[in-house]
Amino acid sequence: MMRPSSVSVAVASDIVPKHAPASRRRRRRDRNNAKANEKAILRRKKKVVELSRRDEACKGYCLHCDRFHSLPRTKEAEERARELIKTLKKRKSVSDETNASDFLVEDVYDECTGGKMIGILVCETNERTKEKAMLKAFSGQWMGEWEVPGWCPPLARLTHNSLEYIEEREKIETLSEEIKRLDKKSSSDDVSALVRELKTKRKNTSRALLERIWDSYSLPSFRKVKKRVEASDNSNNSDGSRRKLIELNIRKCYHGDESKLPCGCGDCAAPKLLAECARKGWKPVAIAETWMGPNVKRGAGLREEGVFYGACLERCRPILGHLLCDAEI
């Protein structure tokens, strides 16, 4: 009697015959699916790690300088971010004002909310004395509000609290109500033509409002230009000139197709921090962005509380080059 070779035995143990019981094939399939899921999770984590490198925490290409600018994430910045999260949880409010019940920390832990990215920026307030200060910002809105006392403001001047925005939204809502009323009233050709006309008007009104919102995004840079001033003004230079902060519309400093600006571009924590730092005349030293809230799956991978992340590729990095121009200490 011939003994099967070791190779044939190994192959036989790995192959599930077609006539094998359904339960055995199902277990085999489940094992393969589990391995595939593990590999996918590792790939996502690898992407997150690449975005979380300390030296790549905040980086972007500058159209003016034709090179990349970057700002590191240091251990000092990470420690300050951890302390901030602890402080917020202890006082149960993110607002710096006392008795602020509108900005509760527990709101970000709601399953429907899904958490919030919190960022801090370590800044040098005085070049001679090397004094430091800290700025803080959150991504997007905090429970529907763009501005919270003690936090960096949004880059957009036109928000849902602006009178112009409210008036345009009322026009759009009125058109939507009229379209619904006509749809229920009749299906004649005349009514259908009127509905199409109203839908076109609503689309154009919405598009015009969106364009005005994009136009309201002003991004300062640490790069400055000399401007002649009157002799009565206090001047920093002996030639009667002073340094003026450069601010550009988001379209002019976006590294990419400006006609395809992604929704939310400029609303993350990093752009808010750098813009506020530049307007105060400070120098950025280090940045740290961490997740606050329940663990969720976002973009390249998981968002886990206490883990530090780099600036997002789609919304932040195309404009960070301009924001970081001449920011190196």
Tokens representing 122?
Answer: 């370590």
Distance in angstroms (rounded) separating the CA atoms of residues 322 and 221: 6
pLDDT in tens, 276-288: 999 999 999 999 9
pLDDT above 80: residue 11: no
Q: What is the mean pLDDT of residues 244-250?
A: 84
CB 267 within 8 A of CB 139: yes
Residue 78: closest CA among 291, 313, 271, 328 = 291
Task: Give the pLDDT of residue 13.
Answer: 42
Lowest mean pLDDT among 174-183, 196-205, 234-243: 234-243
Distance in angstroms (rounded) separating the CA atoms of residues 146 and 158: 11
Task: Give the pLDDT of residue 40.
Answer: 64
pLDDT in tens, 80-138: 999 999 999 998 888 887 666 678 888 888 777 678 999 999 999 988 898 999 999 99
Distance in angstroms (rounded) separating the CA atoms of residues 293 and 110: 8
Distance in angstroms (rounded) separating the CA atoms of residues 176 and 11: 66
Task: Give the pLDDT of residue 2.
Answer: 46
What percentage of residues in the chain have a pLDDT greater than 70? Answer: 80
pLDDT in tens, 143-170: 888 999 999 999 999 988 889 999 999 9
CB 321 within 8 A of CB 255: yes
pLDDT above 80: residue 72: yes
In the chain, where the domains are located: 52-156+221-323, 165-208
Task: Give the pLDDT of residue 254.
Answer: 87
Task: Give the pLDDT of residue 238.
Answer: 37
Q: What burial letters (b/e) apply to 257-283, b meaning 16+ CB within 10 Å?
A: eeeebeeebbbbbbbbbbbbbbeeebb
190-199, 269-278, 298-307, 308-317, range with greatest mean pLDDT: 269-278
Task: Give the pLDDT of residue 25.
Answer: 74
Distance of CA 151 to the CA centre of its chain: 15
